[in-house]
Amino acid sequence: MTEDAESSSVPAADAFGALASEHRIAVLRTFADAERDGERTLSFTEIYDALDIDSTSQLSYHLDHLEGVFLRRSESGYELNRAGEDVMRAVLAGSFTETPSFEPLALSGECPGCPETAFDATEEDGLLTVRCDGCGMRIVTYDLPPAAVVGRSERAVLEACDRRVRHEYAVAVGGTCANCGGRAVVSVEQRESHGETDPYAVAVCERCNHRVFAPVAAHVLFHPAVVAFYWRHGVDATAIAFWDLPRYIEAWDVDVAEVESNDPPMSADRSPSTEPSVSVTVRYGGESLALSLDADLTVSVVGTDGSGNGG
Ligand SMILES: [Zn+2]
Ligand SMILES: [Zn+2]
């Protein structure tokens, strides 16, 4: 480990090339089977006995390709290194090889675009998409990994994808990419959909480009003051699914203003830059809670009002 936390690397073509063999994938699966039995280290003979391979020299040839990239060798045998574990888990999860299927699921919700209360969840281009039945508005889109559909009802698949995305989002807006662990840069971005421009809380990974975003209202809903506000009214805000958010946030006020940036201007002759500042008034059960959101997604409580006229 070096002091500045740099990482060493193997050329990507070498790493992926090392996987271009049925036998080498079978070696990784052998480690997966061993792991289920609580075993991490396998001897040459144990690997040989587990595989349908012609000779020990053939196995040596394949292990040479994997060693240093996905396997490390010690006195007691072979072990997967971290990259080897990642690949083994991707093989087991079917991430690169399986296409999930999902039967359309009818839901009820509140459309922000029309009075319709019937939604449909379907698989569209590999994504799980919830749309309004009436106007076709896309309410939310989830990543649909192959493993998510195995052994679950359609409803349970939707709930699992929702939980996964919420978790991913919460980690990313905290500055860490849930995909690769890299640094995520957060911001408020104005996005247009269905003729309306709304502020979104966005996190983009500097390393792998993984991008997550949610309407600022969804972001504010994670704040402890908002969770407590709803909890007093008997609602667990932490359990509201993304596709069911419109039911709650329809009554809110969300306003965006451009304010002077705290960052110093790049040069003396440049005017100070501006950044968006969002004010949000959360409303429920005749009460309101006013909050503000900075460009770096920091949420502050501005005030509360029990009369329902706050904001
Ligand atoms: Zn609609
Ligand atoms: Zn990343």
Q: What is the whole-number distance in angstroms between the Cα of residue 204 and the centre of ligand 2?
A: 8
Q: Is pLDDT at 196 greater than 70 in this prediction?
A: yes
CB 277 within 8 A of CB 292: yes
Q: Provide the H-helix boundaries in 189-275.
A: 216-220, 224-232, 246-249
Q: Taking residues 122-133, what's their average pLDDT?
A: 95
Q: Provide the H-helix boundaries in 51-150.
A: 56-66, 82-93
Q: Is pLDDT at 285 greater than 60 in this prediction?
A: yes
Which residues does 75 contact at the CB level (< 8 Å), separation at least 6?
A: none
Q: How many CB atoms lie within 10 A of CB 301?
A: 14
20-54 pLDDT tens trace: 999 999 999 999 999 999 999 999 999 999 999 99
Q: Is pLDDT at 181 greater than 90 in this prediction?
A: yes
Ligand at shortest distance from the CA of 209: 2
Ligand at shortest distance from the CA of 182: 2
153-162 pLDDT tens trace: 999 999 999 9
Q: What is the mean pLDDT of the chain?
A: 90
Q: What is the whole-number distance in angstroms between the Cα of residue 179 and the centre of ligand 2?
A: 5
203-256 pLDDT tens trace: 999 999 999 999 898 899 989 999 999 999 999 999 999 999 999 998 999 999
pLDDT of residue 265: 56
Q: How many CB atoms lie within 10 A of CB 167?
A: 11
The encoded tokens of residue 247 equal 């039911």
Which protein residues have a CB closer than 5 Å to ligand 1 (ion)? Answer: 111, 113-114, 116, 132, 134-135, 137
Q: What is the C-alpha separation between 237 and 159, in angstroms, rounded?
A: 15
Order of strands, edge to edge, in the sheet holding 184-193?
A: 184-193, 196-205, 211-215
Element (H, E) at 36: helix 22-36
| Residue where the block lists tokens 């083994």 | 88
Range of weakest confidence among 4-13, 76-85, 213-222: 4-13
Q: Is pLDDT at 267 greater than 90 in this prediction?
A: no
Q: What is the whole-number distance in angstroms between the Cα of residue 202 and the centre of ligand 2?
A: 14
Ramachandran region of residue 191, left (φ > 0), alpha (ψ -120 to 50) or beta?
beta
Every domain of the chain and the residues it spans = 12-93, 219-263+273-305
Q: Is pLDDT at 3 greater than 80 in this prediction?
A: no
Q: What is the whole-number distance in angstroms between the Cα of residue 164 and the centre of ligand 1?
A: 25
> Where does the pLDDT of residue 263 fall: very low under 50, low under 70, confident under 90, or very high at 90 and above?
low
> Where does the pLDDT of residue 191 fall: very low under 50, low under 70, confident under 90, or very high at 90 and above?
confident
The encoded tokens of residue 110 equal 């509140």
Q: What is the percent of the chain with per-residue pLDDT over 70, rounded to a whole number?
A: 92
136-180 pLDDT tens trace: 999 999 999 999 999 999 999 999 999 999 999 999 999 999 999
> Where does the pLDDT of residue 2 fall: very low under 50, low under 70, confident under 90, or very high at 90 and above?
very low
Which residues does 92 contact at the CB level (< 8 Å), separation at least 6?
A: 32
- Strand blocks (E) in the chain: 71-74, 77-80, 105-108, 118-124, 127-132, 138-143, 184-193, 196-205, 211-215, 253-260, 274-284, 287-293, 299-305
CATH topology of domain 12-93: Arc Repressor Mutant, subunit A (1.10.10)
The encoded tokens of residue 281 equal 């008034």
pLDDT of residue 308: 42
Q: What is the whole-number distance in angstroms between the Cα of residue 186 and the centre of ligand 2?
A: 13
Q: What single-letter amino acid sits at 200? A: Y
> Where does the pLDDT of residue 10 fall: very low under 50, low under 70, confident under 90, or very high at 90 and above?
confident
Q: What is the C-alpha separation between 152 and 159, in angstroms, rounded?
A: 10
Quote the DSSP letter at residue 67.
B
